[in-house]
């Protein structure tokens, strides 16, 4: 019988939640790596029992853990993330040059087809690749060598490369996003990159139409329609129909166009989810009501989803990697909050329930649909 495995990274450990295809009862395993920040964990599409986790603390730095048995046991693999060549500088918060310094891994993206190939997006922003299941890591330096690197500046959470999207048609095509530099695309496996921020507008930077400097929070797309991208930006929900060449706003009737997560329904190509957050200063839902907003027409028109979600006195945040969908026939949608709840819907968002609560602050949520 099929089922799902939900991988939850938190401020103080990782948790693995499993259920059958009904998704009514959940078994919680964890905390794995208690006391460590787990920014992200994700399973290999090519081998679902292979899961990678990014584990860090301010004391002992970054480790990468790998499980080959679906999260039951883990072993540390390689954790050396060395920038190629002389790293140079990017902008610091005050606008002065600041040396590139590795801080942590924000996002792990295993290959769609090769269980030994995995990408890592790191702070300070760079893209690394491992061809040996995490034992060793090499930077793809063409990204920072794009030429705009010295202009990149950290957002409040650091200068992180947080989104890595592979093209199922061509393994050499990748899209990445960096806070607060913007989105970039490669057609040649990471050797060369182009900024793909045309149409993004950011009032917080001197040139609102600048090639780089836009604070992209997350990008999502459906694997069956790789040229359509959905973006939650610092402000504005955006869409591209041409692989990122051009973007246009689809915020429509959202109560606020600020937020972090965005995701696409597993089967309905134009059904998109966001969680609006009141503002970049407050970082909690408007009016203390936690609402997922769903558009069934690819943006512009949004409906609030509230059934089963707290509608008063709720002041949690939902961070950029903390939403995911499963691919069961009735699409499941999942998200985690900084209040330690993971909410799930087994009916495309119509109704919700917490499947675990009172965890440490949730940093990431990923879902594996198991055969």
Partner 1 sequence: MIRVHLPAHLRTIAHIDGEVELELNGTATQRALLDALEERYPMLRGTIREHGTGRRRAFVRFFACEEDLSHEEPDAPLPAPVVAGAEPFLVMGAMAGG
Q: How far is the CB of 205 from partner 1 (least distance, A)?
A: 32
> DSSP of 225-274, one letter per residue?
-TT-EEEEESB-EEEESSTTSS-EE--TT-S-SBEEEEEE-SS-TT-EEE
Q: For 56-112, give the secondary structure using H, E and C.
A: EECCCEEEEEEECCCCCCCEECCCCCCCCCCCCEEECCCCCEEECCCCEEEEEEECC
Torsion angle (degrees, nearest 10) of CA 43, 108, 346, 300 = -150
Q: How far is the CB of 36 from partner 1 (least distance, A)?
A: 7
Decide: is 86 part of the binding site for partner 1 (CB under 8 A). no
Nearer to partner 1 by Cβ, of 61 and 297: the residue is 61
Which of the ranges 74-82, 231-239, 283-291, 308-316 carries the binding residues for partner 1, by CB under 8 A? 74-82
Q: How many residues bind partner 1 (CB under 8 A)?
A: 15
Nearer to partner 1 by Cβ, of 35 and 297: the residue is 35
Decide: is 312 part of the binding site for partner 1 (CB under 8 A). no
> DSSP of 158-212, one letter per residue?
BSEEEEEEEETTEEEEEEEEEETTEEEEESSTTSS-EE--TT---TTSSSTT-SS
Contacts (Cβ under 8 Å, ≥6 apart) of 325: 263, 264, 265, 266, 273, 331, 332, 333, 334, 367
Q: How far is the CB of 155 from partner 1 (least distance, A)?
A: 21
Residue ranges in 24-63 that form contacts with partner 1 under rule CB under 8 A: 35-36, 57-63
Instruction: Pick the binder of partner 1 from 26, 46, 48, 79 (CB under 8 A).
Output: 79
Q: How far is the CB of 81 from partner 1 (least distance, A)?
A: 8
Q: How far is the CB of 241 from partner 1 (least distance, A)?
A: 43
Nearer to partner 1 by Cβ, of 79 and 194: the residue is 79
Q: How far is the CB of 19 from partner 1 (least distance, A)?
A: 28
**Binding-site ranges for partner 1 (CB under 8 A):** 35-36, 57-63, 75-76, 79-82
């Amino acid at each position: 019988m099929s089922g799902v495995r939900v991988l939850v990274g938190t401020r103080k450990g990782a948790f693995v939640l499993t259920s059958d295809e009904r998704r009514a009862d959940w078994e919680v395993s964890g905390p794995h790596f208690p006391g460590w920040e787990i920014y992200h964990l994700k399973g290999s599409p090519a081998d679902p029992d292979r899961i990678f986790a990014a584990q860090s603390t301010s004391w002992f730095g970054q480790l990468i853990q790998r499980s080959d048995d679906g999260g039951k046991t883990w072993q540390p693999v390689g954790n050396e993330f060395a920038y190629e060549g002389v790293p140079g500088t990017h902008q610091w918060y005050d606008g002065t040059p600041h040396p590139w310094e590795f801080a942590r891994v924000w996002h792990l993206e295993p290959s769609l087809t090769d269980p030994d190939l995995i990408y890592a997006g790191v702070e300070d922003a760079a893209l690394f690749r491992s061809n040996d299941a995490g034992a060793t890591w090499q930077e793809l330096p063409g990204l920072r060598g794009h030429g705009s690197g010295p202009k990149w500046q950290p957002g409040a959470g650091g200068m992180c490369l947080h989104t890595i999207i592979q093209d199922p048609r061509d393994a050499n095509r990748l899209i990445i996003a960096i806070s607060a530099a913007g989105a970039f695309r490669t057609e040649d496996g990471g050797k060369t990159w182009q900024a793909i921020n045309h149409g993004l507008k950011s009032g917080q930077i001197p040139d609102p139409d600048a090639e780089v400097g836009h604070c992209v929070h997350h990008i999502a797309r459906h694997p069956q329609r790789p040229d359509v991208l959905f973006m939650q930006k610092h402000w504005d929900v955006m869409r591209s129909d041409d692989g990122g060449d051009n973007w246009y706003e689809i915020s429509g009737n959202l109560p606020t166009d600020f937020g972090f997560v965005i995701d696409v329904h597993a089967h309905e190509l134009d059904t998109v989810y966001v969680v609006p957050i009141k503002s970049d200063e407050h970082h909690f839902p408007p009016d203390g009501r936690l609402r997922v907003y769903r558009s069934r027409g690819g943006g512009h028109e949004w409906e609030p989803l509230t059934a089963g979600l707290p509608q008063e006195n709720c002041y949690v945040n939902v961070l950029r990697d903390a939403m995911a969908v499963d691919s069961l026939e009735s699409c499941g949608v999942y998200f985690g909050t900084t209040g330690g709840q993971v909410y799930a819907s087994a009916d495309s968002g119509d109704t919700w329930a917490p499947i675990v609560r009172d965890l440490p602050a949730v940093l990431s949520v990923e879902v594996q649909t198991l055969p």
